[in-house]
Amino acid sequence: MSHEPSFDELGLDERLVAAVRGLGYETPSPIQAQAIPALLRGRDVVGLAQTGTGKTAAFALPMLQRLDPDASHTQALVLAPTRELALQVSEAVTSYSAGSRLRVLPVYGGQSYGAQLQGLKRGAQVVVGTPGRVIDHLDRGSLDLSSLEMLVLDEADEMLNMGFAEDVERILAGTPEYKQVALFSATMPAAIRRLAKRYLHDPADISTPEATRSTTNVRQRWMPVSHHHKLDALTRVLEVEQADGMIVFVRTKQATEELAEKLRSRGQSVAALNGDLVQAQRERTVGALKSGAIDIVVATDVAARGLDVDRITHVINYDIPHDPEAYVHRIGRTGRAGRTGDAIVFVTPRERRMLQALERVSGRPIEQMPVPTPDEVNARRVDRFAASITAAMGDPQFHVFRGLVEQYAHQNEVDMTDVAAALAVMSQDDKEFFLRPDPPREARPSREPRERTPRPVSEGMAVYRLAVGKRHKIRPAMVVGALANEGGLKRSDFGKITIGLEHTLVELPADLPDEVFDQLVDTRISGRKIDIRPDQGPPGGERRRPASGNRPPARRARGPKGTDATSAPKTSAAPTRKPRHKKKG
């Protein structure tokens, strides 16, 4: 039987080993066991690792051991394809460096420059960013990589797929020749190999088994539910599923507290688990879950890392994770050590496209399940009521209360069944026992037939037009990369992309907030402004429009010598279409 190393056998400082153990990790994963010693020896590393294998700790721990907290300049840079992954990596590195003076700063598109510029001015030893925003800071002169000691390319294949190849090479070319480079990728296409050969020096090649083995004992299901009905759906799941311990995952620290409070008000034994808890509080919460004092924890991804509790039978993805790797980490909290487990993910209409990515990284199909009906909930309530009566009959005080009930029934000439029913009513605390039937769905009004049928639009999506096309030599990956990087969008937000000669049509969620379009005002692809706006559709047809208030605002046209065109005399009574403008502030 092969020996499994511990973290203190990999060459890490005692402080880092203590930090990892404090987060609940006991033994390193295969990628960590191979990559950490190589990076500590100063080797460059090319890691072929599937999602869910612990890549972040594999490069973050050696990085933190190498950095000098007394030097405020940027010593390490991590490039990630999406802002969600950049934030996740930033949070993880911060948690590993707890107690040190190291500063970690995420920089990504979609966030204002102010906070990022202030952070860079104060000094950040570790910068985690998306390629586009990193280049913006390099062009501004706000980010200096001249003294960089370590560079990490996380999910390199994804960055190239999103059209960031030129950005990545530009960043690499602007860094010192002799620095340590770690490249991690789920696949190794020729483009990644060429990148590694050009910029890495004698790298150690590391590959690990696929992470899908950790999900083989987990039954995976997904539930279609609107955002506003998530809480009711979760409450029904908690009543119907025969669960023991449960983790409910949400995206933010604030959401853990808010959802935990709402579930407590509905009679659930629940606690929040997030990064704001001190170690003693975390240990008490985990201990309560292990002992059965509480049945549910509402947690963020970072807070739940390393959590291993035998009682956990169910993992609920209340908020679908932006990063598929996080999904594998989440569902890995159940179905451990040969036990079976259940994982349920709530999917809103705009998140439907993420299911394929989750199936791909978990290596197993995700079956659809309906929201439990009132009849199913009521049947379970009846079963639990009967079970509670049976259990109460075995209580040492049963005969004491039986005597009191008999005395009451005799004195008041009341049937014993009526007394039992009255006691049951008292236990309900004025709450209705049975769930009311769902109201019938309103029938959607039918549309009048039209002479020309428009191109079908995916459910929950709307079509937008970009002022770039084949003439400007663009590709779908460039569209996804630009909009995701600057607009803060996820890959799952994108539907069909159709590139015409002079324009491009792209499906995006119909309920995108106005802030997204504000961030895209000055976005360019191939050096040309995209001028994003709702598509008007073909003549005689009708596109699905964005929700009211969620479309690009109109730009006020300028008249001669800078005057507003709106102040000029009108020459026609017909309304004119005005291009959108960039909001102030």
Using 50, 70 and 90 to split pLDDT, how confident is the model at 8?
A: confident
Asked if residue 100 belongs to a domain, the reply is yes
Cα three-residue angle 170-110-353, rounded to 5 degrees? 95
Judge contact between 56 and 89, C-beta under 8 A.
yes
359-389 tens-digit pLDDT: 887 878 899 999 999 999 889 888 888 988 9
Check: pTM over 0.75? Answer yes or no: no
Burial of 117 (0-12, 13-18, 19+ CB in 10 A): middle
Instruction: Please tell me whether residues 364 and 381 are part of one structural domain.
Output: no
Instruction: Please tell me whether residues 134 and 70 are part of one structural domain.
Output: yes
Name the more confident of 99 and 103: 103
Structural domain tally of the chain? 4
Instruction: Please tell me whether residues 178 and 45 are part of one structural domain.
Output: yes
Asked if residue 584 belongs to a domain, the reply is no
Residues 474, 507: Cα–Cα separation, whole Å: 17
Name the more confident of 515 and 456: 515
Instruction: Please state the rounded mean pLDDT for residues 490-494.
Output: 80
Residues 17, 12: Cα–Cα separation, whole Å: 6
Residues 505, 490: Cα–Cα separation, whole Å: 17
Asked if residue 401 belongs to a domain, the reply is no
Checking if the pLDDT of 212 tops 50, the result is no
Asked if residue 277 belongs to a domain, the reply is yes
Total length of the chain: 585
Secondary structure in 3-state letters for 562-577:
HCEHHHCCCCCCCCCC
Judge contact between 492 and 357, C-beta under 8 A.
yes
Q: Token digits for 367? A: 């079956």
Asked if residue 545 belongs to a domain, the reply is yes
Instruction: Please tell me whether residues 383 and 354 are part of one structural domain.
Output: no
Three-state secondary structure call for residue 226: coil
Instruction: Please tell me whether residues 473 and 522 are part of one structural domain.
Output: yes
* pLDDT, position 464: 92
Checking if the pLDDT of 565 tops 60, the result is no
Domain boundaries, position 313: 214-372
Instruction: Please state the rounded mean pLDDT for residues 561-582.
Output: 39
Instruction: Please tell me whether residues 178 and 31 are part of one structural domain.
Output: yes
Residue with tokens 């906070």: 115
Residue with tokens 């980010």: 143
Instruction: Please tell me whether residues 238 and 122 are part of one structural domain.
Output: no
Q: Of 209, 238, 267, which residue constitutes the final position of a domain? A: 209
Instruction: Please tell me whether residues 347 and 313 are part of one structural domain.
Output: yes
Q: How many CB atoms lie within 10 A of CB 90?
A: 22
Residue with tokens 């050696």: 62
* pLDDT, position 452: 43
Instruction: Please tell me whether residues 154 and 69 are part of one structural domain.
Output: yes
Asked if residue 397 belongs to a domain, the reply is no
